């Protein structure tokens, strides 16, 4: 039977019919019942199977398939789906949409089968993924079940890592797609702003929020992006590694990276160098200023308070105690500090553009540490220190509006470690092409 474009470019899944894929999901969800119960906050097993069967019938009748037919989609709980409550991981939000968010509707129209809503940090305000209301997803790569999956798109990353979904739709303000993807050894893509519509998504910080996707591989992220951009038959046209110029900012990476992460990163550099990639070590001291500028200006808390301030005043006691008070701080942000920080970020983005003009991407670890044990986050002091640590490398892409992709870096993708490619601003397609190529090199090296 003819299909309009090749399936599963670089993906580990073997697609059958859409209905077969849903049955595989149901079997996998049964095998991983405990993890699935926390990763998902809502499911539509019966409706998904009926929808998939109808899609298969149309495919048989027409002899063609939609480009994402057979792709199982899960959606972060801050993204509207008609008929579900959009909780954003909170007990205080009771948003009842009558229509799917634009991006959800688009993916479903392209053939993806929606299977569930996934867990997250309340209002997406943390890179750790803890949620006192709906439970905290743990990375499936830790047999002890003690290490977190990362956040805030925690449930989506776990679902993809366990084979419960082929594609997780999330949102990324400071690393919320890429951090859990790295901690679960899958791929995550944060696009440039406006590449995907954010209509129907509960905001945290409009200046930095973007929808993002998690998939088993960077090649799968590339494929979904190409389809969303209308390039259904867009085959991978990768430049050879010898043409890549990648900047490694040693001063920004620093010496705070845990040994296992540092070893995986150096191994990745070695593998790329052997393939002829030009690794350019270039000091970029201002990169560390990017995250600090946003924090000092209170940009996230101010914009979050503008959205959620009414709920805070009415029901602060019902918020996650590690989220509500931080949003409340936005009430005290001074306008001149906020505006000064926005100007500072524009200036730093200009410096980044100039320094990447002759290169293709920046390469760092995705996260400096392995997934922490949840027991080690019991104290607020430790929680907030670790949260800042996990955001270090990912947040800069949001602050300067650059595309960014995390790729599994451990042996055979089995370790909760990622390498992060952050590209030139607005050059998303090229970055995804390179990410898929880097992924092939790293897989070949392991």
In this prediction, residue 13 carries a pLDDT of 41
In this prediction, residue 3 carries a pLDDT of 28
Do 158 and 277 sit in the same domain of this protein?
no
CA separation (Å) from 16 to 67, 78, 231, 348?
14, 30, 23, 48
* Sheet with 72-76, edge to edge strand ranges: 40-43, 113-118, 72-76, 167-172, 210-215, 187-190, 404-408, 418-423, 361-365, 245-248, 278-281
Which of 228, 257, 285 is the last residue in one of the domains? 228
In this prediction, residue 231 carries a pLDDT of 83
Which of 198, 228, 258 is the last residue in one of the domains? 228
Do 273 and 143 sit in the same domain of this protein?
no
Do 23 and 155 sit in the same domain of this protein?
yes
Q: Is residue 284 part of a domain?
A: yes
Do 253 and 118 sit in the same domain of this protein?
no
Cβ–Cβ under 8 Å, residues 111 and 66: yes
Do 184 and 152 sit in the same domain of this protein?
yes
Residue ranges in the chain modelled with pLDDT below 50: 1-14
Which of 228, 263, 291 is the last residue in one of the domains? 228
In this prediction, residue 162 carries a pLDDT of 97
Do 28 and 135 sit in the same domain of this protein?
yes
Q: Which domain holds residue 213?
A: 18-228
In this prediction, residue 11 carries a pLDDT of 42
Do 218 and 248 sit in the same domain of this protein?
no
Do 301 and 162 sit in the same domain of this protein?
no
Q: Is residue 6 part of a domain?
A: no
User: Tokens 């996650």 sit at which residue?
Assistant: 320
Q: H or E segment at 169?
A: strand 167-172
Closest to 231 in 3D by CA, of 110, 113, 401, 105: 110
Q: Is residue 2 part of a domain?
A: no
Do 152 and 297 sit in the same domain of this protein?
no
Do 408 and 269 sit in the same domain of this protein?
yes
In this prediction, residue 239 carries a pLDDT of 75
In this prediction, residue 224 carries a pLDDT of 97
Q: Is residue 7 part of a domain?
A: no
Total tally of structural domains belonging to the chain:
2
CATH classification at residue 142: 3.90.1300.10
In this prediction, residue 10 carries a pLDDT of 40
In this prediction, residue 413 carries a pLDDT of 54
Do 255 and 321 sit in the same domain of this protein?
yes
In this prediction, residue 446 carries a pLDDT of 64
Do 300 and 432 sit in the same domain of this protein?
yes
């Amino acid at each position: 039977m003819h299909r309009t474009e090749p399936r599963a470019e670089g993906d580990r899944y073997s697609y059958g019919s859409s209905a077969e894929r849903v049955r595989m999901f149901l079997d996998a969800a049964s095998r991983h019942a405990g993890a699935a119960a926390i990763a998902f906050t809502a499911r539509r097993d019966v409706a998904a199977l009926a929808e998939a069967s109808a899609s298969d019938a149309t495919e048989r009748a027409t002899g063609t398939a939609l480009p994402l037919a057979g792709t199982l989609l899960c959606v972060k709980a801050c993204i509207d789906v008609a008929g579900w409550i959009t909780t954003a991981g909170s007990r205080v939000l009771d948003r009842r949409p009558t229509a799917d968010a634009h991006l959800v509707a688009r993916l479903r129209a392209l053939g993806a089968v929606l299977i569930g809503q996934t867990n997250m940090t309340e209002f997406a305000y943390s890179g750790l993924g803890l949620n006192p209301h709906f439970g905290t997803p743990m990375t499936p790569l830790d047999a002890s079940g003690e290490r977190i999956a990362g956040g805030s798109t925690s449930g989506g990353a776990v679902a993809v890592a366990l084979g419960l979904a082929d594609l997780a739709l999330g949102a990324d303000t400071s690393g919320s797609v890429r951090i859990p993807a790295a901690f679960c050894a899958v791929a995550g893509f944060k696009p440039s702003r406006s590449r995907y519509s954010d209509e129907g998504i509960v905001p945290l910080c409009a200046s930095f929020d973007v929808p993002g996707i998690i998939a088993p591989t960077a090649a799968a992220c590339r494929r979904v992006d190409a389809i969303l951009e209308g390039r259904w038959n867009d085959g991978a046209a990768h430049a050879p590694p010898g043409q890549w110029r990648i900047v490694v900012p040693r001063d920004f990476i620093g010496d705070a990276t845990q040994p296992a992460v540092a070893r995986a990163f150096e191994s990745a550099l070695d593998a790329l160098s052997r393939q002829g990639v030009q690794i350019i070590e270039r000091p970029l001291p201002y990169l560390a200023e990017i995250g600090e500028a946003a924090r000092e200006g209170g940009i996230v808390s101010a914009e979050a308070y503008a959205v959620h301030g009414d709920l805070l005043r009415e029901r602060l006691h019902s918020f996650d105690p590690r989220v509500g008070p931080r949003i409340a701080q936005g009430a005290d942000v001074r306008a001149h500090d906020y505006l000064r920080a926005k100007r500072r970020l524009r200036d730093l983005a200009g410096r980044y553009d100039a320094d990447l003009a002759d290169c293709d991407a920046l390469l760092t670890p995705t996260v400096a540490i392995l997934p922490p044990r949840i027991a080690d986050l019991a104290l607020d002091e430790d929680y907030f220190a670790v949260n800042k640590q996990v955001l270090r490398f990912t947040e800069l892409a949001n602050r300067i509006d650059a595309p960014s992709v995390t790729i599994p870096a451990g042996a055979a993708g089995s370790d909760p470690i990622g390498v992060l490619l952050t590209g030139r601003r607005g050059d998303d397609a090229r970055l995804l092409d390179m990410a898929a190529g880097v992924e092939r090199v790293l897989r070949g090296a392991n």
